[in-house]
Amino acid sequence: MSEVRSVVDRDDLLSQRVREQWTSQLGRRLDVLIAGCGWPEPLDLAQAEARVIGIDEDLPALRTSTSARKDLDSWALGDLRSVPVPPRAFDVVYVPFLLERIEHSELVLDRLLTGLRPGGLLLVRMRDRASAYGACDRLAPSRLRRMLWRRFVPSGTVGPLPAVYEQIASREGMHSFCLVRGLMVTEDISASSGPALNGPLGKLARAACSVVEVLSRGRRPASHDEITMVIRKPQSHFARLI
C-alpha cells in the first residue's frame, strides 16, 4: 500500500532504514552500492561505518557530477549491462533516479540484485511514468527537452538525461517485478520532487501537469511524480536465487 510523504520525510526514512541495516550487522562494515551515482542524492551514512561504491552510465554530465562527489570510495561509469557487480557483495543497493532513464532497465536491476546479499536492502527512487510529470517528461521530444531544460530547472541540476520510462518505472511495474523475483516491498512512498516543479517556471510546470491530469481523466495524476520503495531481499534459501 502506498502513502504520500514530503521529500524531507522520505530522505529521513531511507537514512533510518540504512542505519537499522548497519545496526543489525552488529558493527560489521556496511557495503553500499549506488547505481545512478551521477544523480547527486547521497545517503546519510554519518552514523554508520560504510564503504560506498558508485556506478552509472558514461555520459558527460554524469561524469562531471560523479567526479565531484566526496562520499564515494570508488566509482565506475559505463554500460550498466556489463559494469562489474560482484555477487552478494553489498548490504544496500541504492538506485536513485536511474530506472526511468535507461534502456533494458529490468536486466540492469536483475544484475544489481545479484550483488545484494540475502537480507539486504534495495532502495529505489524513480520518476513515475504513470504520473502527469512523467508523461510530460517521456513524451516531450529530445530536442525540446534540451532547449527548455535550463529555463525550467534550478541551476546546477544534472541533465537533461534520457527519458526512457520503460514499464518498470511505475508502481505497478515495480510491484510486478518484485513479486516475480520473491522480493518484499516493505514501504512504498509517493512524493513530488520533479526539478521543473521547483525551477524558475515552476508554476507553469505545475499548470501543465494539471492539464495532463484533466485530459487523462485522472489516469495521469499531478499529485506526485516520484515513487520511493524500500525492498528487502529474502534470507530464505527457498526464495528464487537472484
| pLDDT per residue as tens digits for the range 15-46 | 899 989 998 888 789 999 999 999 888 788 88
Average pLDDT of the residues in 144-148: 90
In this predicted structure, the answer to whether residue 59 has a pLDDT above a threshold of 60 is yes
pLDDT of residue 84: 86
Average pLDDT of the residues in 53-64: 94
pLDDT of residue 236: 64
In this predicted structure, the answer to whether residue 1 has a pLDDT above a threshold of 90 is no
Q: Is the previous residue joined to 195 through a cis bond, with omega within 30 degrees of 0?
A: no
- pLDDT tens digit sequence for 148-176: 898 999 888 888 999 999 999 999 999 99
Can you give the C-alpha Rg of the chain in angstroms?
Answer: 18
pLDDT of residue 241: 47
What backbone torsions phi and psi does residue 52 show, to the nearest 5 degrees? Answer: -115, 120
Q: Which residue has the higher pLDDT, 104 or 9?
A: 104
Average pLDDT of the residues in 118-140: 96
pLDDT of residue 2: 57
pLDDT more than 70, % of the chain: 93
* Through-space distance between the first and last CA atoms of the chain, rounded to whole angstroms: 25
User: Closest Cα to residue 35, out of 158, 123, 142, 136?
Assistant: 123
CA atoms within 13 A on the CB side of 157: 20
Rounded CA separation 2/164 (Å) = 24
CA atoms within 13 A on the CB side of 180: 9
Number of residues that this document lists for the chain: 242
pLDDT-derived band of residue 89, with 50, 70 and 90 as boundaries? very high
Mean residue pLDDT of the chain comes to 91
pLDDT-derived band of residue 11, with 50, 70 and 90 as boundaries? low
pTM assigned to the model: 0.92
Strand partners, 125: 96, 228
User: DSSP string covering 162-221, please?
Assistant: P----TTSSHHHHHHHHHHTT-EEEEEEEE---GGGGSTTHHHHHHHHHHHHHHTTTSS-
Q: Which residue has the higher pLDDT, 42 or 78?
A: 78
User: Closest Cα to residue 70, out of 30, 112, 37?
Assistant: 37
User: Closest Cα to residue 65, out of 153, 157, 147?
Assistant: 157
Contact criterion met (CB below 8 Å) for 162 and 102: yes
Average pLDDT of the residues in 192-221: 95
pLDDT-derived band of residue 5, with 50, 70 and 90 as boundaries? low
C-alpha cell recorded at residue 105: 532497465
